[in-house]
Amino acid sequence: MDDDWLAEQFDANRTRLRAVAYRMLGSVSEADDAVQETWLKLSRSDSESVQNLGGWLTTALARVCLDMLRTRRSRREDSLETAPEAPGESSPEEDLALADATGSALMVVLETLVPAERVAFVLHDLFDLSFEDIGRILERTPVAARQLASRARRRVRGTEAPPADLARHRELVEAFLAASRDGDFDRLLAVLSPDVVLRADQLAVTTAAARQRHGAPDLVPELRGAEAVATVFKGRAQGAVSALIDGEPGAVWAPGGQVRAAFLFTLEGGQIAALDIVTEPGNLTELDVRIE
């Protein structure tokens, strides 16, 4: 692509990118740094292969912001001790519009979220990105990305799921675990949606493959359909225990009290619509797990 054309296209996206970065980082100076880093990434990339430049820029910017948030967190910076930085660059009109659109109260709440929660919430709830796209940015499954955004949303709103809903969801998860342990194929089918999706992260897939001779299931990154999923879990879940994960009923495998695997459930219409297996240590640490 022509460099001048690429620069023009980037400038056309600059205002939107700056707004995304500011909501993620809460700092105009850091947002501008993130936008500049995104431009550098674009200028160094094989731009000829980019089919959707707007989507590519949003993805690249989100990853830059995620790295910045993680670095900030690792340095134990407590950004709640100071108010989020007010916009102070570009034109006064642009900065005022940016501050008004974000809202200081929302920015304060966003500072309480872990990096992955903040990115998932901002990209989905404020910029309408799909969980499939967010999952790729965070290197999570779409359901895990949905969990992060859901937890962030509850914290932003200061609300929790109604006790009655939690009780019904807990019963469904426990029914699944019991049917799995008992090897009852029909009971498994009863709690699974016909179109249920099972997703497993790469570590879960490779670990299961290495333990095939010891009876581990044949896991793949994604499996669809109630019969296929029931076959994977029939006679399993012996060591799984119920847990609240990000405030929602789920299950974990936690030998010695250390969580080694988390099972995230998406429940719709009284059945399990999706199940995510999370075993990557970095992803597990960002889940709020309370073993019941």
What is the Rg, in whole angstroms, of the alpha carbon atoms belonging to the chain? 21
Domains 3-157 and 163-291 in one fold: no
Per-residue pLDDT at 271: 93
Per-residue pLDDT at 159: 55
Per CATH, which fold does 3-157 belong to? Answer: Butyryl-CoA Dehydrogenase, subunit A; domain 3 (1.20.140)
CATH architecture of 163-291: Roll (3.10)
**Rounded CA gap, 240 and 252, in Å?**
5
Per-residue pLDDT at 85: 44
- 3-state SS of 233-289 is HCCCCCCEEEEEECCEEEEEECHHHCCCEEEEEEEECCEEEEEEEECCHHHHCCCCE
Going from the first residue of the chain to its last (292 residues), give the mean pLDDT of each consecutive group of 10, the final group possibly shorter. 79 91 88 93 78 88 91 58 42 47 63 85 88 88 80 72 75 96 96 94 91 81 94 91 88 92 89 91 83 84
The structural domains of the chain, with segments of one domain joined by +, span: 3-157, 163-291
Do 198 and 277 contact (CB within 8 A), yes or no?
Answer: yes
Q: Does this model's pTM top 0.75?
A: no
